[in-house]
Amino acid sequence: MSTLRPLGFALFALTLASSAALAANSPNLGKAVTESDFKAWDITILPDGTGLPPGSGTAAQGAKLFDDKGCSLCHGKDARGGKSNELIGNPSLVEGGINANKTVANFWGQASTLFDYIRRAMPWPTPHTLSDDEVYALCAYLLAGNNIIPQDEPMNAQTLPKVKMPNRNNFIIKFPGRI
Amino acid sequence: MRKRLDSGRAPLEEVAGNGLLHRRALLGGGIALAGAMTAGAAPTRAAAEPLTNPPWSNLPGIVTPVLQTPSRFEKNVVRILSNPKGEPRTQHARAPLQMLDGTITPNPLHFTILHSGIPDIDPAQHRLVVHGMVKRTLEFTVEDLLRYPMVTRKHFVECGGNSAAMFSNVPLQATVQQLHGLASCAEWTGVPLSVILDEAGVDPKAVWIMAEGADDLLVARSVPLKKGYEDALIAFYQNGERLMPGNGYPMRLLLPGFEGNMNIKFLRRLYIIDQPAMTFYETRNYSPLLPDGKAYRFYFVNEVKSFITKPSFGMSLRAPGYYEISGIAYSGTGTITKVLVSADGGKSWGEAAVEGPATPKAFTRFRMPWRWDGQPVTITSRAWDDSGAVQPLRADFVKLRGETKKPVKSPYAFANQHYNSLTLWGIDAKGEIKHVYA
């Protein structure tokens, strides 16, 4: 008995130590995992470029993909709009009024969202089928088509976050106190 | 100019123009109301036929089903679909709020918006991952999470684009369902998000949560971490039963008072970060344009709002006499404290009865007794909440937020987002109801 006592105490102390590190009000059933356990899900691209994968693509490659992958079926010939949003085009927000057509060129505040959204959700109805090179190429096609980058500038993890979107300074944070 | 109507019992006091009565008439005022009604035609049945037993009073009923559905006589109480064939665009289903009463939206009628259909998720295979600026990167099964301590709260969910047709410079002739049907209210049961955040151990330098769903578009939004600790839930139950597939089965984020799109359905990932992810929906759709070409970013909150559901466009008043004006008020910034109703287009106002207990960020039912004298009137409502917020008058709202230059053609178009001004119903001498702005 006496030999068991120190062991029991040690176990008790260990339990205390580990529970102190865990949340007190939770059953703590979450399984500890590492980034490699959910790599396919870790797809968010932040505005500063965090998350952008290796790879590269050009506007010329993107133009071909835009037709080959069926993007033009919804977004129209040359991305000028169809059943879904116009992706190349720069209508005036002031002239259009409060329901003006918000486009990549006249509205989007950062370029990271192009990569994030195309890889996340496009093309309908077969998302998650484009390679990272193809996503970069489509980003380059849309940015060059809107005269935001030169036709020959490839998009990659270094160049995309540096793109300055024309409308980036026209946003007002509605409720700063809620952030 | 207050006058008392002689009713034979409690006198009915007119509290505002065109026949709005004191709300006390609703409380045990049966006799008083009967008195008020006799001012119109006394309802009498044609004396010819005495009552007999209809067939259902002489035969056994049908066999009890395992899952109840409404009476076949209520077939028209359904949602309106914007994209019934599932074309490659968003599918909206608007709730028939003017055909419902109380404050809870039944699950089959709860509004839904799906950008690429309803995913068919097997809960046994669904996972939630919490990662980023946390001490412990965690993965949960649905079964795990169902063991966590739960809370139940009643909250509305409203699309940031609900009522967008009201931005039209000319009022669209449309029902409450068409104009305001992208809002619903339910009792949600789930795990406070703060419990999960604490289990992961959030870095004090983190500011945002990027929440993501398991649908094929992987719909994602940036949510302030502050909201995560305030009152956010991971919801599993909706009005007592597991979530409807269109409402996010097996689990969704519930952010009370925040625009519907942020309440990520089919929740599968929480990425804790120090900057907003600027996902597609916050980059484009939910940054409302202002008249000068600038735009609001991170609007988030559905501000205080109310509208009359009964009577409203699509209904008509048969004859002068007593009616109850009834509607819904709610606010993303607090609890409804007061609703005023006007029957003369906003010249005079009377206080409606607010059915209690009113709770924060939830539908609240208001009722106003009214005696219509048969003349043309314009009825509307205006709500206040306990944060001091008041529903803006249209002139003030339009001054700040603008209206379209050309009339909006469809009530299902999204001219802008976050409309919370008044809704006015103009009733003519025949009892027909139109949507008007003044």
Q: For B358-405, write each residue's pLDDT tens digit.
A: 999 999 999 999 999 999 999 999 999 999 999 999 999 999 999 999
Residue B153: the pLDDT is 98
Residue B45: the pLDDT is 55
Contacts within 8 Å (CB) and 24+ apart, B433-438: B433/B311, B433/B312, B433/B313, B433/B314, B433/B315, B433/B316, B433/B317, B434/B171, B434/B173, B434/B313, B435/B171, B435/B172, B435/B173, B435/B174, B435/B179, B435/B313, B436/B171, B436/B378, B437/B171, B437/B394, B438/B345, B438/B346, B438/B378, B438/B394
Do A179 and B224 count as a contact with CB atoms less than 8 A apart? Answer: yes
pLDDT tens-digit readout, B65-105: 999 999 999 999 999 999 999 998 999 999 999 999 999 99
Percentage of chain B surpassing pLDDT 90? 90
Under 8 Å between Cβ of B93 and B111: yes
3-state secondary structure of A43: coil
Buried b (16+ CB within 10 A) or exposed e, B277-286: bbbbbbbbbb
Q: What is the DSSP letter of A140?
A: H
Give the minimum alpha-carbon distance from B124 to chain A in angstroms, rounded to a whole number: 15
pLDDT tens-digit readout, B320-350: 999 999 999 999 999 999 999 999 999 999 9
Nearest residue in chain A measured CA to CA from B292: A94
Residue B12: the pLDDT is 76
Q: Is residue B307 over pLDDT 90? A: yes
Question: What is the C-alpha separation between B229 and A30, in angstroms, rounded?
Answer: 19
Contacts of B269 in chain A (CB under 8 A): 38, 41
Between these two residues, B372 and B28, which has the higher pLDDT value? Answer: B372
Question: What is the C-alpha separation between A57 and A63, in angstroms, rounded?
Answer: 11
Q: Which among A25, A29, A31 has the least Cβ separation from residue B198?
A: A25
Give the minimum alpha-carbon distance from B408 to chain A in angstroms, rounded to a whole number: 9
Q: Show Cβ contacts of residue A9 under 8 Å, excluding neighbours closer than 6 positions.
A: none
Nearest residue in chain A measured CA to CA from B401: A98
Between these two residues, B356 and B43, which has the higher pLDDT value? Answer: B356
Mean pLDDT (chain B) is 94
> Beta strand pairing status for B321-330 and B336-342?
unpaired
Give the minimum alpha-carbon distance from A158 to chain B in angstroms, rounded to a whole number: 18
Q: Which among A25, A27, A113 has the least Cβ separation from residue B280?
A: A113
Do A32 and B277 count as a contact with CB atoms less than 8 A apart? Answer: no
Using the Cβ of A23 and the Cβ atoms of chain B, whether some distance falls under 8 Å is answered with: yes
Nearest residue in chain A measured CA to CA from B294: A170
Using the Cβ of A150 and the Cβ atoms of chain B, whether some distance falls under 8 Å is answered with: no
Contacts of A99 in chain B (CB under 8 A): 167, 289, 404, 408, 413-416
Q: Is residue B136 over pLDDT 60? A: yes
Q: Is residue B6 over pLDDT 50? A: no
Question: What is the C-alpha separation between B160 and B158, in angstroms, rounded?
Answer: 6
CB-side exposure of B59: number of CA atoms within 13 Å? Answer: 6
Q: Which among B116, B140, B404 has the least Cβ separation from residue A98?
A: B404
Query: Per-residue pLDDT for chain A (179 aa), expressed as one digit of tens each?
Result: 344 444 444 444 444 444 446 767 679 999 999 999 999 999 999 999 999 999 999 999 999 999 999 999 999 999 999 989 999 999 999 999 999 999 999 999 999 999 999 999 999 999 999 999 999 999 999 999 999 999 999 999 999 999 999 999 999 999 999 99
Do B293 and A92 count as a contact with CB atoms less than 8 A apart? Answer: yes
Residue B46: the pLDDT is 59
Cβ atoms within 10 A of the Cβ of A37, count?
16
* Pick from A74-83, A86-95, B4-13, B21-30: least confident: B4-13
Q: Is residue B218 over pLDDT 90? A: yes
* Dihedral sign, Cα of residue B259, residue B261, residue B267, residue B272: negative
Over residues B268-287, mean pLDDT: 98
Contacts of A107 in chain B (CB under 8 A): 284, 287, 295
- pTM greater than 0.80 (yes/no): yes
Do A125 and B116 count as a contact with CB atoms less than 8 A apart? Answer: yes
Contacts of B301 in chain A (CB under 8 A): 175, 178
Backbone φ, ψ for residue B131 (5° rounding)? -150, -175
CB pairs under 8 A between A and B: 189
Residue B365: the pLDDT is 98
Longest Cα pair distance anywhere in chain A, in angstroms? 88
Nearest residue in chain A measured CA to CA from B168: A99
3-state secondary structure of B108: helix
Strand locations in B193-232, DSSP E?
A: 208-213, 220-224
Q: Which among B148, B220, B273 has the least Cβ separation from residue A27?
A: B148
Helix A112-121 to helix A132-145 angle (10° resolution) is: 130
Contacts of A22 in chain B (CB under 8 A): 199
Residue B141: the pLDDT is 98
Question: What is the C-alpha separation between B378 and B312, in angstroms, rounded?
Answer: 11
Do A38 and B283 count as a contact with CB atoms less than 8 A apart? Answer: no
Q: Which token pair is B37?
A: 């009604």
Question: What is the C-alpha separation between A128 and B199, in angstroms, rounded?
Answer: 31
Question: What is the C-alpha separation between B331 and B341, in angstroms, rounded?
Answer: 17
Residue B52: the pLDDT is 96
Based on C-alpha coordinates, what's the Rg of chain B?
A: 24
Question: What is the C-alpha separation between B294 and B397, in angstroms, rounded?
Answer: 17
Contacts of A44 in chain B (CB under 8 A): 210, 212, 220, 271, 277, 279
Give the minimum alpha-carbon distance from A106 to chain B in angstroms, rounded to a whole number: 10
Nearest residue in chain B measured CA to CA from A51: B277
Question: What is the C-alpha separation between B238 and B246, in angstroms, rounded?
Answer: 12
